[in-house]
């Protein structure tokens, strides 16, 4: 059984839904079992074709990135205004709190790191200068660094080997670079692009064909990850039993689709087909509190939420209930990243009961 050290996943990850009202200085309060002060915040308008809004407490509340775009970060004074002890504050910006005649509904995915408190390090040879804030309990850290343009390592602070690393050049229009531990048999040789539907690609200039360790990850000469004197942010995740899972599976093209064992009842999942032309597809249990899940967003487009029949979230994983290239084509390979709503078995060895 998948025992866990995290009996209350809402202390580390929460999904929150709200409706825009166009008011400035609006406090959005979390409703999970635990108050959560988010450090990484990802907001999407569900009803309109608007950008994904990504913020973190290392770069500062008002500084936005977009998951569907390669654009540099930008200041957005009227969007996210502050991270708070039990949620966050938004302004009147339409990407986070539009108040049109038909106000949009929003989803906010939130992860806890270390309250904005960073450990810093100086440049050492080709190793970049920067820092990290880490939540080692939940296996999540936010790393910021200044590139050197040559192969070097950056501390991530997790104390465990990362399964997922997503990096964005903050200064330039560079694609997001993604490392995933289930991306091919030698994932350190390959990369994916979050803002595109591209297939996985082999390129030694990203990770220097070097797997991350429990203390550092390696970047080399690709402009997306390590241009000299340019600044970067990396979101790093290590797998935590009963709380998070980063894996792969093969589709069968059936309405009786594959079962993905996670060891917990998922709160959120994102899936990518490793072939070209397929999006990064996202589901969560807040937008779909009951099975079958029917509401999907895509990280690489600004499109509104679409509805269909997709999958079930069950007590120990995910069961596909339909098929498409995005999540269940015959004999095609997929990666996923998932976070828990509740563990399958608590730290005390007590099985949980899913709805």
DSSP 1-48: ----S-S-GGGTEEEEEEE----SSEEEE--SSS----SEEEEEESSS
- What does each C-alpha distance from 217 to 39, 118, 225 come to in angstroms? 21, 17, 11
Looking at the domain assignment, is residue 79 inside a domain? Answer: no
Indicate the pLDDT class of residue 354, thresholds 50, 70 and 90.
very low
Q: Out of 216, 237, 258, pick the residue that ends a domain.
A: 237
The whole-model pTM stands at 0.96
Residue 225 lies in a domain: yes
On the question of a cis peptide bond just before residue 292, with omega within 30 degrees of 0, the verdict is: yes
User: Could you tell me if residue 199 is inside a domain?
Assistant: yes
What is the tens place of the pLDDT at every residue in 18-75?
A: 999 999 999 999 987 888 999 999 999 999 999 999 999 999 999 999 999 999 999 9
* pLDDT value of position 345: 64
> First-to-last CA distance in the chain?
19
Domain annotation covers residue 333: yes
The last residue of a domain, from among 217, 237, 257: 237
Which of 186, 202, 237 lies at the terminal end of a domain, its last residue?
237
* 222 shares a domain with 327: no
Q: Indicate whether 233 pLDDT > 50.
A: yes
**Structural domain that includes position 329:** 244-343
Residue 209 has pLDDT above 60, yes or no: yes
Domain check: are 180 and 252 in the same one?
A: no
Per-residue pLDDT reduced to its tens digit, 104-134: 899 999 999 999 999 999 999 999 999 999 9
**In the prediction, which pLDDT does 247 show?**
98
Q: Where are the alpha helices (DSSP H) in the chain?
A: 94-97, 204-207, 223-226
How many structural domains compose the chain?
2
| H-only helix segments in 63-153 | 94-97
Query: Is residue 355 pLDDT above 50, yes or no?
Result: no
Does residue 312 lie within any of the structural domains?
yes
């Amino acid at each position: 059984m998948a025992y866990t050290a995290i009996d209350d996943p809402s202390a580390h990850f929460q999904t929150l839904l709200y409706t825009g009202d166009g008011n400035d200085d609006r406090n959005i309060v979390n409703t999970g079992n635990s108050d959560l002060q988010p450090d990484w915040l990802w907001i999407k308008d569900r009803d309109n074709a608007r950008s994904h809004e990504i913020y973190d407490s290392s770069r500062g509340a008002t500084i936005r990135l977009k998951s569907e775009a390669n654009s540099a970060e930008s200041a957005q004074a009227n969007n996210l205004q502050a991270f708070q002890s039990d949620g966050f504050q938004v302004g009147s910006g339409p990407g986070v709190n539009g108040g049109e005649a038909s106000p949009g509904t929003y989803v906010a995915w939130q992860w806890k790191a270390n309250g904005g408190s960073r450990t810093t390090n100086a440049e050492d040879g080709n190793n970049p200068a920067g820092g990290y804030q880490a939540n080692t309990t939940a296996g999540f850290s936010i790393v910021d660094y200044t590139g050197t343009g040559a192969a070097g390592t950056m501390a991530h602070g997790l104390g465990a080997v990362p399964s997922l690393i997503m990096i964005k050049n903050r200064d330039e229009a560079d694609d997001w670079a993604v490392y995933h531990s289930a991306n091919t048999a030698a994932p350190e040789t390959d990369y994916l692009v979050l803002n595109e539907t591209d297939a996985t690609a082999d390129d030694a200039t990203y990770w220097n064909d070097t797997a991350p360790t429990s203390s550092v990850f390696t970047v080399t000469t690709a402009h997306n990850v390590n241009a000299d004197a340019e600044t970067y942010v990396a979101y790093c995740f290590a797998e935590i039993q009963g709380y998070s899972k980063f894996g792969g599976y093969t589709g069968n093209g059936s309405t009786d689709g594959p079962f993905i064992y996670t060891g917990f009842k998922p709160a959120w999942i994102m899936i990518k087909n490793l072939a070209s032309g397929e999006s990064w597809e996202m589901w969560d249990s807040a937008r779909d509190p009951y099975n079958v899940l029917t509401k999907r967003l895509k990280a690489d487009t600004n499109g509104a939420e679409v509805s269909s029949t997709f999958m079930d979230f069950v007590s120990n994983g995910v069961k596909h209930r339909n098929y498409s290239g995005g999540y269940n084509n015959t004999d095609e390979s997929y990666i996923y990243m998932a976070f828990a709503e509740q563990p399958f078995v608590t730290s005390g060895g007590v099985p949980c009961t899913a709805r």
